Structures are given as structure tokens and as C-alpha cells.
Homo-oligomer: A and B are copies of this chain.
Amino acid sequence: TPAPFNRAPAPDSVTTGPIVGSRKVYAAPAAHPNIRVPFREIALSDPKEPPVRVYDPSGPYTEADARIDLRRGLPAIREGWIAGRGFDVVAGRALRPEDNGNLPDDRIAEACPAHRTLRAARDGRMATQYEFARAGIVTEEMVYVAHRENLAREGAHAEAAARLADGDSFGAALPDFVTPEFVRSEIARGRAIIPANINHPEVEPMAIGRNFLVKVNANIGNSAVTSGAAEEVEKLVWAIRWGADTVMDLSTGRNIHNIRSWIIRNSPVPIGTVPIYQALEKVGGDPVKLDWEVFKDTLIEQAEQGVDYFTIHAGVRLAHVPLTARRVTGIVSRGGSMMARWCLAHHRESFLYERFDEICAIMRRYDVSFSLGDGLRPGSIADANDASQFAELETLGELTKVAWAGGCQVMIEGPGHVPLHKIKVNMDKQLAECGEAPFYTLGPLTTDIAPGYDHITSGIGAAMIGWFGTAMLCYVTPKEHLGLPDRDDVKTGVITYRIAAHAADLAKGHPAARVRDDALSRARFDFRWEDQFNLALDPDTARRFHDETMPKDAHKVA
């Protein structure tokens, strides 16, 4: 029996203010003074040490004097850029009762009242970053991303060539300095994406691709009975505070549409969803009742709201399902198991696969990026790299080319549970099958025996696959397999994955990655404790651990 359901309060406040020991700065490339790109700057106590500038996805929430009004949403920094591209202004789809779970009016949570102009591509005109890139056009988003990836430098680091030569990137092509033209060319080749729905003008553009810094995704999402918009917006803000580059909203409960409105209007990072989760709610929870119409309607609903990327499990084909029969853990992806159930019940090819062209047409209109879902990812070490997993990956490669032909940006989701020695073949096969489209993996978890510590079992795999070429790592929290993550779990998951991503950047020879390690190591060698804390991924924990165990007079001899 579910707990009594009450109308959840609208969000009114979230965590704000700088991370201790640093300040938010905005910097513009010399040629584009109006493109203000955010960074976090850590000043050091030794006058010989320059401040260290780090990548910062946390949005305006970490400004020193953050003025946040959740009801108005974040500043629409892309509005002018988007308005200049000649999109249609549209009325949009009317809200339907099923969008919020068919709740009676007095139990529907309030939607975010922020108003934004709703747009869609004009027929015959370009809409996506992929299309602009292919046409040789450098968008403002590409300029923004280049400056961001360079950490606001105007030229290459003196040591960039040496760093690149010292690294091992397995055939990636990291430049010594990222130009807007380099960003364009990576997107045009399909090797990178900028997930940025034209109806999410608040997003601070970021790139996902093997030749950029490795990114981290965090998942949030309400469950049927436990949380509302206020909790979810706080989870978002908390996750990006510690370094999540994108956030997936995996909500499944009531009020899903209205909760999403608060998340998107207040998110400076791209928001991803799994539209089939909401489609399932609309058909009463029975996957057999899914059909193209309800799915299509959900895609449009979410695209108009501003979701930046959709996980679409179009690679789960009817013929793949029997390949999972002898698995230890069957199909563990929720979307994958829904589609497998549908295919078997109807004994038909997946409607996602059959209608893939139409899906592309819808997503292109709003520049929603594909995250082609790995519905057959292994759920255990025993099932890693099996026939069903790789059959689906081959289908995802086929669909990647269809999506590109349809003008869309694409990334590919990957496993899952994989032992150390079977990780690299996942990367190599993905690059080969999917034409170097960005890989976006969950972990992988390198053993099954440590529930409660799966941020670590998977952080190991994430560091390795990031080094091998994965562009974005989907975090796993300590609660994986056990329950819903709380605030501490979210932070632990994000920090663990920032470690994995950074270890990968270092190993690839990223020209700027070692700057922070070296600054922290010098601080350590000099016993500049405050600098060491402030340069840490988590200054609060580093400081607390030190203060709680070191006698005051032993500070200098540890």
C-alpha cells in the first residue's frame, strides 16, 4: 500500500554559494566578448603559485552572491543565439491528464511558472548542431565549448606537446588547443555532441566526445511515493555542484511532467530522460500496451519541455531477445526489458526500430540528441560481452548512421558489469561499429560481490574505459542494487566518477589535466594545507578528515 499522497510543495530554495576556497569566474574568448564561460578559480596562498582554474558545470548556483528564483528559472543565456537561427515559434502540444499520471486537479503539483518561447525547426531549415557543423557553420555553442575545454586559455599550454606525447590515448586525437573550428569538425564527424535542445536556452553548452575532457553523468529521479519537485531540483543542484556534467531525470512517479518543468528551467547542464518510462506510465504500467502513438506523443511532450537527450532502446530487436535466454541475470535494463517484453508478447519487431526514421525526424526538430540505449547490457560478470550485448551494439551502429543521415546528434550507451580484461573490447567494438560516435557507459562494474560499494567496483571500470576512449561516464552510487541514493550517496558517486574521469584525462595525455595534480602536489610537499584542501575535489571532506585526526601541533609533520 502506497503512502498517502499529498500535493508536494513547489521548490523554493536550493544549495547555493561557492565551493569552499574557490570563486566563480566568467571569462570570454577574445573574439567573442559576449560569450561568458564559467570556471571555478582556486587562489593559492603562495604568491609564486598562480590560481588554478577548473572546469565548472555547477551553474550560477555557486556564484558568491547567487540570486536564484526557481519560479523564474535560470537566465536563458542561449536565447539570443537561438532566436537568430530562424526557428518557428510554435504553440506546442496541449497538456494532457496522463502527462502527470491522471491525477485529479487538486493533487497535481504546480508546474514551474517560468515562461519560455517554444520553438521547433522550420521545414527545410537546419536545426541541430550536427547540421550546422556539417554545413561548416561554427555556432555560439561551439565557441563556448572551445573556451570551456581550454579552461579559458587563449593559446596552448607551454607543456601541451610534451603532455600529449607523454600520454597514451589509444588513437584519440586530442589537440594541444581546442579551437571553435576543432569543435565544429568533431561534431561534423559525429565524434562529439553538444546536447542542447533549442527549448533549453538555460543550458551552458558542453561537449561529449573522445577528444574533449571526459564527462560525468549523474542520475536523479523521483519514485512513486517519496519525492517531489523540490527534492529533485535540489538533487540536480547538488550533483552539478560536485561536478556532474549532465543529469538524467529517471523519474517514474506521478507529476512527472510538472516535476520535469522545474528541473529543466533550473538546469544549466543538459538533461537526459528515458521517454519510455513516461510512456509506460501513460499506458498504466503494462509494457505490452505500449505503442508508437503514445511513445511519439511522449517524445514531443518532452522535447518541447527542453530535454536535451533521450535514451532510446531501439537496438533491442526481436531477434536479439532469445540470445539472452541463458544469461545469469537476463535483461537488467528497465527500458530493455520493457521492449523485450513487448517484442515477445506481440511477436513483432520493435516499434522503436521500425519507426526509427520518424524518431529521428522528431528529435531533429528540437535538436534532442540520441543516447542509443543498451537495453541488453550485461547485469553480471557472467553475462559480459555476450552475443546479445554485441548483437545490440551492432544494431546501434546501424542506427547511428541513420540518425546522422537524419541530421541528429548521437551518442551510444554501454555497459554495465564487465571484468577488467573484457573492458577494452567494448570500447574498440563501439568505436568500430558506431563510427566513433561518443560512448557513454555505466561504470562498468568490475565485480558483482560488493553491493554497498558499487561506486568503487564501477569507478575502477570507469577510469579504464574512460582512458580507452569513453566520452562520458554515468555514475554509480553506493546504493546501486540496494536502494535510492540520498544526498551523501549522490556526492560520493559524483566525486568517485570525477576521480575516474580525471584519471582517464591524465592517462590520455590531456594537455591541461596535470596542472591541478601538480599544484596540489606542490602544496602537499610545502605543507600548505589550506591550498591542498582547496585544490581537492572535495575540500570539505579533506579538511574535516585532517582536522578530526591531527593534533593541532602536528600539522607540519604529517
Instruction: Enumerate chain A interface residues (CB-CB to B < 8 A).
Output: 1, 3, 167-168, 225, 328-330, 379-382, 419-422, 446-453, 455-457, 459-460, 463-464, 467, 478-479, 481-484, 486, 495-496, 498-500, 502-504, 506-509, 514, 516-518, 520-522, 524-525, 532-533, 535-538, 541-542, 545-546, 548-551, 553, 558
Contact of A549 among B449, B451, B479, B522 (CB under 8 A): B479
Which residue of chain B has its CB nearest to the CB of A170? B421
21 contacts between A and B (CB under 8 A): A328-B518, A328-B525, A329-B522, A330-B525, A380-B525, A381-B506, A382-B514, A419-B503, A419-B506, A420-B464, A420-B506, A446-B499, A447-B499, A447-B517, A448-B517, A448-B518, A451-B545, A453-B537, A455-B456, A478-B545, A482-B542
- In the complex, the answer to whether A521 meets B419 with C-beta atoms within 8 Å is no
Q: Which chain B residues lie closer than 8 Å to A504 at the CB level? A: 420
Contact of A546 among B421, B483, B536, B541 (CB under 8 A): B483
- A478–B538 Cα distance when bound, in Å, is 12
A421-B168 contact in complex given A460-B503, A482-B545, C-beta closer than 8 Å: yes
- A330–B550 Cα distance when bound, in Å, is 23
Contact of A537 among B450, B478, B499, B548 (CB under 8 A): B450
- A493–B122 Cα distance when bound, in Å, is 57
Interface centre among A328, A449, A516 (most CB of B within 10 A): A449
Question: What distance in Å separates the Cβ of A131 from its nearest Cβ neighbour in chain B?
Answer: 36
- In the complex, the answer to whether A460 meets B419 with C-beta atoms within 8 Å is no
* Chain A to chain B: the 3 pairs with minimum beta-carbon distance, closest first: A483-B549, A380-B521, A420-B507
Question: What distance in Å separates the Cβ of A338 from its nearest Cβ neighbour in chain B?
Answer: 14
Q: Which chain B residues lie closer than 8 Å to A502 at the CB level? A: 447, 449
Q: Which chain B residues lie closer than 8 Å to A538 at the CB level? A: 450, 452-453
- A1–B551 Cα distance when bound, in Å, is 10
Consensus secondary structure, chain A interface: helix
- In the complex, the answer to whether A460 meets B328 with C-beta atoms within 8 Å is no
- A420–B450 Cα distance when bound, in Å, is 23
Contact of A484 among B328, B453, B549 (CB under 8 A): B549
Contact of A463 among B330, B460, B525 (CB under 8 A): B460
Supplied contacts A421-B507, A448-B520, 17 more A-B pairs, CB within 8 Å: A379-B521, A380-B525, A382-B514, A419-B506, A446-B499, A446-B506, A448-B518, A450-B536, A450-B537, A452-B542, A453-B541, A456-B459, A456-B496, A459-B460, A460-B500, A483-B545, A483-B549
Q: Which chain B residues lie closer than 8 Å to A498 at the CB level? A: 450
- A379–B522 Cα distance when bound, in Å, is 10
Contact of A382 among B329, B463, B507, B517 (CB under 8 A): B517
Question: What distance in Å separates the Cβ of A340 from its nearest Cβ neighbour in chain B?
Answer: 15
Q: Which chain B residues lie closer than 8 Å to A382 at the CB level? A: 514, 517-518, 521
A482-B549 contact in complex given A449-B516, A460-B500, C-beta closer than 8 Å: yes
- A419–B478 Cα distance when bound, in Å, is 25
Contact of A518 among B330, B381, B420, B479 (CB under 8 A): B381
Contact of A380 among B449, B509, B524, B546 (CB under 8 A): B524
- A538–B478 Cα distance when bound, in Å, is 12
- In the complex, the answer to whether A453 meets B496 with C-beta atoms within 8 Å is yes
- In the complex, the answer to whether B551 meets A225 with C-beta atoms within 8 Å is yes
Q: Which chain B residues lie closer than 8 Å to A455 at the CB level? A: 456
Interface centre among A503, A522, A536 (most CB of B within 10 A): A503
- In the complex, the answer to whether A453 meets B495 with C-beta atoms within 8 Å is yes
Contact of A524 among B446, B481, B486 (CB under 8 A): B481
Q: Which chain B residues lie closer than 8 Å to A450 at the CB level? A: 495, 498-499, 536-538
